[in-house]
Amino acid sequence: MDSELQTPTKSGFSFSKLALLVGAVLLLLRLLRANAAVDFRSRTILISGGSRGLGLNIARQFAKEGANLVLLARDEDELKNAKRELEGMGVQVLTIEGDVTLKSDCEKAVKATVERFGSLDGLVNNAGIIQIGPLEHMSDEDFKSAIDLHIYGPLYLSRAALPYLKRGRIGRIANIASFGGQVAVPHMAPYAASKFGLVGLSDALRHEVAKDGVLVTTVCPGIIRTGSHVQAKFKGHQKSEYKMFKLGAISPLAVDPTVASKLIVDAMRYGDPYLTFPAVIGWASLLYRVFPNLAALVLGILVRFMPPPTDESGDETLSGIQLESGEGNVPFAAVADKAVTANNEGKA
């Protein structure tokens, strides 16, 4: 009888110890995170694809913190517009016209950064491309361009930047991957393949350079309302694909880019290994990994309700800007259209 009475006491005691241990570990992690925090004032941050969209919003957030900014992008006019705005916020801005898929351009960009500011403290690998349509219409070149931009671009820039990021042992790298790098969303095969690759590259970088004081953050957001729908590329039933994609930008799940950029900069500040948002995206990604067979079944059914492949006309690539007229319009999409102008994405 005595042993029976003691059993609950022992179990309760063990549970209490476990709770205390978990609490202590969480507190320790919180203290370590706070200790790793970096003040970005007067630090130099290089952002690829920084002239528009999410990249521009990240630059705006760093500008609020007083960082020196380097924007690397391909469009001269977009760079000029971004520079004018950011300099109006009282920070120094260097713009570099270049292509991250070219190793030489990446090396030149890093060299120009250090020559101008004397250091490089943070790198945001943000440049990207979105191609949407059935797999049947995606060419080898579509896959190659996505892989070049989402994998080789970050690799080239990171390799060029690492010698300088290591110097102060407070270097930061953020690789802007995607929910599409955790879950293979239908009709986005090149995007999914390349973003999955970027997640792997980002993880590998993190493990290898942490010893040198460089902390790498893998960012996997859901839809961000930047107006990027007009820059996306569409194949198959282009207008139907465009309508579906634009609807995502006005859905309740779409995140405001100001909120997104603040989350990203904070994650870099503390050197967080992963950032996934919004919360529902994190849960969906977890379920995809825990129940892969069920996820495959659900996504396989979803494809049946999406625009099917068409004839050879579907092999043509049309941008959202080209489709933003007549049948391509989406009702109640004013909020998405405003984001185009606000984030330097081009005329809708």
> In the 3-class helix/strand/coil scheme, how is the chain assigned residue by residue?
CHHHHHHHHHHHHHHHHHHHHHHHHHHHHHHHHHHCCCCCCCCEEEEECCCCHHHHHHHHHHHHCCCEEEEEECCHHHHHHHHHHHHCCCCCEEEEECCCCCHHHHHHHHHHHHHHHCCCCEEEECCCCCEECCHHHCCHHHHHHHHHHHHHHHHHHHHHHHHHHCCCCCCEEEEECCHHHCCCCCCCHHHHHHHHHHHHHHHHHHHHHHHHCCEEEEEEECCECCCHHHCCEECCCHHHHHHHHHHHHCCCCCECHHHHHHHHHHHHHHCCCEEEECHHHHHHHHHHHHCHHHHHHHHHHHHCCCCCCCCHHHHCCEEHHHHCCHHHCCCCCHHHHHHHHHCCCCCC
- Rg of the chain over CA atoms, in angstroms? 22
Q: Provide the annotated active-site residues.
A: 191
Could you tell me the two tokens for 328?
């391509």
